Structures are given as structure tokens and as C-alpha cells.
Amino acid sequence: MLDLDRLAQASQQLIEAGRALDAASQVPATGGNFSCRLSDTLMAVTASGCHKGRLTTADVLVSDFAVRLLGTSRKASDEARLHGQLYEDLPEAHAILHTHSRAATVLSLCHVGDTLSLEGFELNKALEGVKSHETPVRLAIFDNTQDIAALALDVRARLQVDANLHGYLIRGHGLYTWASSMTACRRHIEALDFLMGCELELRRQR
């Protein structure tokens, strides 16, 4: 059943996240998409093609995890299935943010391999479950594709063999991260962007 109070709260959280991420230049043009878990089967997800810094409540749609929309003729984010798949596979995930920051775009292209491990940074502790700068923060990396259903299956397969991920990068595209609340998810995005910027800076100096 749809909890309208929860939907109103989620809409506000998505709108505020969009404003903050736009101010931080992490969602240029109409890049990025966001969601909140509403229940065991439903999510609030941004509509496709909106500028994420200027979202209104009308741009927040209700969908099940297979992206069957409730009560709207608008189109959900092109990448909504990536959100649905994460909610299906990660019961602890209550918020998901996808951004197109410069650091995520560049680092995902120049890093070789299917995992980026950010190591030795105090800010690693901004990620849920990380208690020490000595704990690596790990992001899976996938090649970019317009076949979102196939990408969702690849993410699912990776999560089945690697439970220790804080998010993933799509090459030349951007970052997905999730958390137990929108507050924590915004902290993840901010920290990961900072950490990827540090990593790029270090690689320039090597």
C-alpha cells in the first residue's frame, strides 16, 4: 500500500538532494537520477529528462521495482530499473543517488580493471560501515551501455559475488551509490566525489 506521508517526505528529500548536487556541479544538464524506497515493493524515482536541480513534486513518480508506474502517464528515469534492481537485491538500501560528476566520469575511463579501491583516506569513514582509513572503499566498474536491463543483470551478478561494495561506476558516465537513508546517501556521494578527486590528483603526480 502506498504511504502518502512517506511519499511526501521522499519527494522533499529527492528535491533537496537535486538542489544540493546541482550546486555541487554533480548533475550537469539533465544527468543523474535519484530514488527513495517507499516499501518492500515500491520506490519514489525521478522522472526522465528533468533538470535535477529544479525538481518539483510532479517530477517524483511512484513505481514498483520492475518500473511499472503507479498513477502517472509520465516516463520514469531511463535508468529506473538500476534503482529497482538495487532495492530488490539490497534490503538495507533505502536511498539511491546517481550523479555525473567530472571525477567519476574521468576516473572511470582511465582506471584499468573492474574495481576501483580507494585506500588510505580519512574520509573513507564517511561511508556506512567503514570505521578506519585503512578500510578500502570499493566501487565496481561497468562499461557504459544503453541496455539498462542488461546492466542491471550485470550489477546483480556482481553483487552476488562481492557484497563489499559501496557503489559502482559506469565508464565515462557516472556513479551509483546507495545507503540506509537519504542523509547517508548524500554523504556517500559527497565523500566519493571528494575521494575520486583525490585519487585523480594523486595519479597526476605519479
Ligand X SMILES: CSC[C@@H](O)[C@@H](O)C(=O)COP(=O)(O)O
The smaller minimum CB distance to Zn ion, of residues 124 and 178, is found at: 178
CB of 76 to ligand X, least distance (A): 8
Q: How many CB atoms lie within 10 A of CB 123?
A: 17
Q: Quick one: 49 or 129, whose CB is closer to ligand X?
A: 49
Residues 38-49: b if buried by 16+ CB within 10 A, e if exposed? beeebbbbbbbe
42 SS3 class: strand
Among the candidate windows 58-66, 67-75, 88-96, 173-181, which touches Zn ion by CB under 5 A?
173-181
94 annotated as a binding-site residue: no
d(CA 70, CA 73): 9
Surface-to-core class of residue 21, CB atoms within 10 Å of its CB (0-12 exposed, 13-18 middle, 19+ buried): buried
The reply to whether 136 sits near ligand X by the rule CB under 6 A is no
Torsion, Cα of 102, 103, 105, 108 (10° steps): 170
> Least distance from C-beta 105 to ligand X, angstroms?
11
Taking the complex as a whole, the smallest distance from the CB of residue 173 to Zn ion amounts, in Å, to 6
Q: Which residue, 79 or 199, has its beta carbon nearer to ligand X?
A: 79
Q: Does 29 bind ligand X (CB under 6 A)?
A: yes
β-strand 115-118 against 137-142: which pairing, if any? antiparallel
3-state helix, strand, coil in the chain (%, to 5): 45, 20, 35
Give the residue with the Cβ less far from ligand X, 48 or 181.
48
- 98 is an annotated ligand-binding site residue: yes
Work out whether 143 is an interface residue with ligand X (CB under 6 A): no
Say how many residues touch Zn ion, by CB under 5 A. Answer: 1
Q: Which residues bind ligand X (CB under 6 A)?
A: 29-33, 46, 48-49, 77-79, 98
